[in-house]
Amino acid sequence: MKKALLAATVVASALTAALITAPAANAGGRSAIPFTEAAVTAGADGSFTLEWKAPGTRRVEVKANGRVVAKGGAQGRAVVTGLPAADRQWFDFKPQHGQGLRLADRLVKLDGTANFRDAGGYRTSTGQWVRMGEVYRSDALDKLTPNDLAKLQRLHVRTVFDLRMEDERTKDADKVPAGAAYVVADVFAGSGSFRTMPRTPDEAVKAMVDAERAMVSGAGGKKAYTQVLEGIERDRARSVLFHCTAGKDRTGWAGAALLTALGVPRQTVEADYLASNDYRRAANDAILSHLPAQQAAVYKPLLDVRPEYLNAGYDEVRATYGSFDRYLKDGLGIDARELKQLKKDLLVG
């Protein structure tokens, strides 16, 4: 095996945009994990960029496959190359004092998807971290290859929640890994969302905003997201996967609801939501390039994720329930015991 090559340097300025910062732990409790920022980003050349901040820690060591591949101080950046191929390359961030983190690149590369990624790896407002490798989110699964399915089986995907409408499920039926349970959780069941095509860019934006609101207060949305969150909480044999067609809107709200319930700050949730624009850029550009300019202008808001779409969901929560906690309890039926169990299972620190 080719020896891993690494270059670690302490950076004086803010880390890259891939590193999402959460506020420091609040007065209500201090996490055992000293990292305030940490991320793994895989490069197209097989390299991995590791970045971290651990204030108050003098030394950080990072291991991969049981071997030390990087060392640094309280703030660091390392580029690691030469690691053997793996379904997912995991890195263990070990501080001099306190609890460490186990992280991987968020994107799971599959031949049949563009937006299959881990829902974890984020820091909460209390300084805990959402475990990686437990919950995944994705675009449609109908194009998965045999190799993709084998990889998902090795990643222990046990339950697949399909958030799509009936016609989507019929036209592009899911392929799921052997042994995984398949659950229909149709967000727009019984609604009129996206039954007619908008004619202008403004109509397209309005359609996306209205759809986001329907995800929160519509009967189909409430039932579907109850299924997803309760399914995650009850499934002790994770991993759990939820998906729609593009993995950005219905899936985006599922991810936002989960992370918000776990205590991840709003700015971090929004960054995760907007990341679909990056992961889907090539696919979206290919669609738009084959359309006349006027039609492309109408389609673009439908292909995008935008802050105003996500904000519409939160606004609907506030207008209908008053608070996110009330949305979880009254809208989705997630009681205090279930929420406590969800946090116990999915948070470290």
Looking at the fold, whether 127 and 262 belong to one and the same domain comes out as: yes
The residue out of 88, 105, 122 marking a domain boundary is 105
Looking at the fold, whether 119 and 263 belong to one and the same domain comes out as: yes
- Using alpha carbons only, give the angle 9, 52, 113 rounded to the nearest 5 degrees: 110
Domain that holds residue 44: 1-105
Looking at the fold, whether 151 and 294 belong to one and the same domain comes out as: yes
Give 142-193 pLDDT, tens digit per residue.
Answer: 999 999 999 999 999 999 999 999 999 999 999 999 999 999 999 999 876 6
**Which residues, including other chains, have CB under 8 Å from residue 178's CB and lie 6 or more apart?**
149, 153
Give 28-55 pLDDT, tens digit per residue.
Answer: 446 799 999 999 999 999 999 999 999 9
Looking at the fold, whether 33 and 11 belong to one and the same domain comes out as: yes
Looking at the fold, whether 127 and 27 belong to one and the same domain comes out as: no
Looking at the fold, whether 311 and 222 belong to one and the same domain comes out as: yes
Looking at the fold, whether 193 and 172 belong to one and the same domain comes out as: yes
Contact between 124 and 130 under an 8 Å Cβ cutoff? The reply is: yes
Contact between 46 and 81 under an 8 Å Cβ cutoff? The reply is: yes
The residue out of 105, 137, 152 marking a domain boundary is 105
Give 105-120 pLDDT, tens digit per residue.
Answer: 999 999 999 999 999 9
Distance from C-alpha of 274 to C-alpha of 228, rounded to nearest angstrom = 21
Looking at the fold, whether 37 and 147 belong to one and the same domain comes out as: no
pLDDT at 7: 32
The residue out of 105, 135, 161 marking a domain boundary is 105
Looking at the fold, whether 73 and 151 belong to one and the same domain comes out as: no
Distance from C-alpha of 102 to C-alpha of 69, rounded to nearest angstrom = 14
Residues in the chain: 349
Residue 348 has pLDDT above 90, yes or no: yes
Q: Which two tokens stand for residue 111?
A: 């031949």
CATH of the domain at 23: 2.60.40
Looking at the fold, whether 77 and 121 belong to one and the same domain comes out as: no
Looking at the fold, whether 339 and 228 belong to one and the same domain comes out as: yes
CATH of the domain at 324: 3.90.190.10
Q: Tell me the angle at which helices 266-279 and 281-289 cross, rounded to the nearest 10 degrees.
A: 50
Looking at the fold, whether 101 and 116 belong to one and the same domain comes out as: no
Could you tell me what percent of the chain has a pLDDT over 70?
90
Residue 6 has pLDDT above 70, yes or no: no
State the SS3 of the chain: CCCCEEEEECCCCCCCCCCCCCCCCCCCCCCCCCCCEEEEEECCCCCEEEEEECCCCCCEEEEECCEEEEEECCEEEEEEECCCCCCCCCEEEEECCCCCEEECCCECCCCCCCCCEECCCCECCCCCEECCCCEEEECCCCCCCHHHHHHHHHCCCCEEEECCCHHHHHHCCCCCCCCCEEEECCCCCCCCCCCCCCCCHHHHHHHHHHHHHHHHHCHHHHHHHHHHHHHHHHCCCCCEEEECCCCCCHHHHHHHHHHHHHCCCHHHHHHHHHHHHHHCHHHHHHHHHCCCHHHHHHHHHHHCCCHHHHHHHHHHHHHHHCCHHHHHHHHCCCCHHHHHHHHHHHEEC
Total domains, the chain: 2
Segment 219-224 mean pLDDT: 97
Global pTM value? 0.90
Give 253-300 pLDDT, tens digit per residue.
Answer: 999 999 999 999 999 999 999 999 999 999 999 999 999 999 999 999
